[in-house]
Chain A
Amino acid sequence: MIKLNNIVASYTTVRGQVTAVDGVNLQVPSGYIVGIAGESGCGKTTLLRVLYGDVRFPLALERGSVQYDFCDDNGQVVTSDNIRGYWFKRISYIPQTSMNSLNPVIRIRKQFVDFRHSKKEKAEVLAEVRAYVKDLGLPPEAIDAYPHQLSGGMRQRVMVAMATFFKPDIILADEPTTALDVVVQKGILLLLMNLQEQMKNTIFLVTHDMGVHYQIAHKMLIMYAAKAVEFGDSGAVFEESLHPYTRMLIESLPTVGGDRMRQGVRGRPPSLWDDLHGCRFAPRCPLATELCRVEEPALKEYRPGHFTACHYVESS
């Protein structure tokens, strides 16, 4: 169980503070692929940065903490304060732009061996890396290459290999397939799913592609304007969504053979600079009433394991 205790994270900008994640309070069960979806600027990446413990200027954690599902050497639960010591060992990160995530002037095998944590002999580690890389569907010679000699898909596989080499408990993937074509994308996603099945770790996957979420996520977290609006099993979120925003998002997805005109969600998300009160989705919501504009709905469990933040869950 990974506990996100009322996380409030903000950026310092020239115009002042802007709160990019505003009170996300969740308990995520371990061992699942958790998809995070939402519009650009809704706080997905910021939430991932907080989860990873990469909180540094201009980002600041105003309130709240993260409790991870593993303990340190003294048996204490690791929290956001000391997660840095476990980077890439217990928690790892697959970056958005695999194209540029490898140092272009160093051979890939050296970048593997450069992990400080490996105390073993270099040759031994290299042999392990070769075997591991082969499991992930890369030719073992690939690690002797410079990054520019590999294709985008291969480079992303190398990144996945690096991030999973130490069998971490938690993997954060920030749009891992954005720059790749659909065939390669499918390969990478299947690889992630297989690895997750073997290692039973928790993967947080951020992507804009709802189709990807539908196919591989076990749990879904929908975010809107710095808030978590719905969280639950992905089947339940997709088939019986509780929040009107989620429903409208799913409505807008095209289906094979469907000839219905797709409706977008009208309007724009609110600016995080404004003084926001009430439900943040109210201006765009067809069900919104005076109550929504005044009182902010809390994230509540309406069905077992299915949470949402809406005043009119029952009535809709």
Chain B
Amino acid sequence: MKLNLRLKIGITILAVFTLSSVFLPFFTNVDPSEQGTYFRNIPMSWKHPLGTNSLGQDIFWFLIFAIRNSLLLGVAVSLCTVFISLIVGLSAGYIGGWFDRAVMLFTDSLIAIPTFPILIVLGTLVRGRTNFVILGLILVIFGWAWNARMVRSMALSIREREFISTARFSGASTLDIILKEVFPYVYAYMVVGFINSILFVINTEAALAIIGLSKVEIPTLGSIIFWALNYSAMFVGQYTWIVAPVVATVLLFLGLFLTSTGYNELFAARRGHS
């Protein structure tokens, strides 16, 4: 298996982000969300690589914790959505009939409802009392439908292929066929779906945080930008406060995107294309 360039760059970026955000927090005993730990507005130095902000927080450590929390939320929510969409999509597509119609009616309603306005309404309702788990749950509820539809349409087409008959004729049960024949087909697309779902989650959380509807005391990529905007970082010359999270977010998205398209390419090569 030869990794292509996209995949190499993507995995490298993701590895740097993941490893640094997972392991670096062990080297500090400061809670970065605590305000007034340091003097305010210290410029970049060895002690504070990105300086401190107007709230007396170390921007570098705040950023590291933010990346960790955002990634954690993204991965956890995406695992759930991928799991749900696999179960729903595979069963609906393979079993078909009235079961398929009932399940897809529900899925389609979730797709048709615009997620972001709903999140804004929900965020306003629970403002200040929300926590990470509830936010994650809401994202799961609104995140699985697209993938489920994709998996279902693939299962629907694979169900009619000749090799499914071969498997059935050799005595495989429905569960066997779904797991051993249909799943290998869907699996590579779900890796891509998983990565895209992480993108969606981080993005949505950041968007909610920026308009102040997430739990902004917890460091996330969105909440840094929220605080930076709130304290007019640009105008008081605190460039690192606003630029660092934006650059980090863009790099993270680039890493996820390259990994997702690179993996797609790799799987296509394995199937015999290109």
Residues of A within 8 A of B (CB): 52, 54, 84-85, 87-89, 92-93, 95, 97, 99-106, 114-117, 146, 148-149, 159, 162
User: For residue B176, which residues in chain A have a CB less than 8 angstroms away from its CB?
Assistant: 114, 116
Known pairs A87-B171, A95-B165, A105-B184. 5 more at Cβ < 8 A? A54-B169, A101-B165, A102-B163, A104-B163, A106-B184
Bound Cα distance A162, B167 (Å)? 11
6 closest residue pairs by CB, A with B: A100-B162, A87-B171, A88-B170, A148-B272, A103-B163, A101-B166
On whether A105 and B185 interact (CB within 8 A), knowing A114-B180, A115-B171, A117-B171, the answer reads yes
B171-187 vs A, CB cutoff 8 Å, 1 = contact: the mask equals 11100100011001100
Bound Cα distance A106, B182 (Å)? 10
The secondary-structure label for the interface of chain B is helix
Q: List 8 A-B contacts (CB under 8 A).
A: A89-B171, A99-B162, A100-B163, A101-B162, A102-B166, A105-B271, A115-B170, A116-B176
Q: Cβ of B2 < 8 Å from any Cβ of A?
A: no
In the complex, are the beta carbons of B172 and A116 less than 8 A apart?
A: yes
Bound Cα distance A116, B184 (Å)? 18
Bound Cα distance A93, B166 (Å)? 8
On whether A88 and B184 interact (CB within 8 A), knowing A100-B161, A103-B163, the answer reads no
User: For residue A99, which residues in chain B have a CB less than 8 angstroms away from its CB?
Assistant: 162
The secondary-structure label for the interface of chain A is loop
CB B158 to nearest CB in A, in angstroms, measures 9
User: For residue A92, which residues in chain B have a CB less than 8 angstroms away from its CB?
Assistant: 169-170
Q: B163: nearest residue on chain A (CB-CB)?
A: A103
Q: A89: nearest residue on chain B (CB-CB)?
A: B171
In the complex, are the beta carbons of A52 and B163 less than 8 A apart?
A: no
User: For residue A149, which residues in chain B have a CB less than 8 angstroms away from its CB?
Assistant: 272
User: For residue A85, which residues in chain B have a CB less than 8 angstroms away from its CB?
Assistant: 171
CB B171 to nearest CB in A, in angstroms, measures 4
In the complex, are the beta carbons of B171 and A88 less than 8 A apart?
A: yes
Taking a contact as CB atoms closer than 8 A, the residue among B168, B181, B270, B272 that contacts A103 in the complex is B181
CB A232 to nearest CB in B, in angstroms, measures 30
Q: B171: nearest residue on chain A (CB-CB)?
A: A87
In the complex, are the beta carbons of A84 and B171 less than 8 A apart?
A: yes
User: For residue A102, which residues in chain B have a CB less than 8 angstroms away from its CB?
Assistant: 163, 166
In the complex, are the beta carbons of B169 and A52 less than 8 A apart?
A: yes
Contact residues, B252-274 vs A (CB, 8 A): 270-272
In the complex, are the beta carbons of A93 and B169 less than 8 A apart?
A: yes
Contact residues, B174-221 vs A (CB, 8 A): 176, 180-181, 184-185
Residue in B161, B165, B171, B172 whose Cβ sees the most chain A Cβ within 10 Å = B171
Q: A162: nearest residue on chain B (CB-CB)?
A: B170
Contact residues, B144-174 vs A (CB, 8 A): 161-163, 165-173
CB A161 to nearest CB in B, in angstroms, measures 13
Bound Cα distance A101, B173 (Å)? 17
User: For residue B272, which residues in chain A have a CB less than 8 angstroms away from its CB?
Assistant: 104, 146, 148-149
Bound Cα distance A149, B166 (Å)? 19
Residue in A99, A105, A146 whose Cβ sees the most chain B Cβ within 10 Å = A105
Bound Cα distance A54, B171 (Å)? 11
User: For residue A95, which residues in chain B have a CB less than 8 angstroms away from its CB?
Assistant: 162, 165-166, 169
Bound Cα distance A104, B184 (Å)? 10
Bound Cα distance A4, B272 (Å)? 45
Q: B170: nearest residue on chain A (CB-CB)?
A: A88
CB A222 to nearest CB in B, in angstroms, measures 26
CB A105 to nearest CB in B, in angstroms, measures 5
CB A157 to nearest CB in B, in angstroms, measures 15
CB A129 to nearest CB in B, in angstroms, measures 14
Bound Cα distance A175, B171 (Å)? 21
Bound Cα distance A159, B167 (Å)? 12
In the complex, are the beta carbons of B165 and A104 less than 8 A apart?
A: no
Bound Cα distance A84, B162 (Å)? 19
Bound Cα distance A149, B161 (Å)? 19
Taking a contact as CB atoms closer than 8 A, the residue among A101, A104, A116, A146 that contacts B171 in the complex is A116
Taking a contact as CB atoms closer than 8 A, the residue among B163, B172, B270 that contacts A101 in the complex is B163
User: For residue A100, which residues in chain B have a CB less than 8 angstroms away from its CB?
Assistant: 161-163
User: For residue A54, which residues in chain B have a CB less than 8 angstroms away from its CB?
Assistant: 168-169
User: For residue A103, which residues in chain B have a CB less than 8 angstroms away from its CB?
Assistant: 163, 167, 181, 184-185
In the complex, are the beta carbons of B169 and A88 less than 8 A apart?
A: yes
Bound Cα distance A88, B184 (Å)? 23
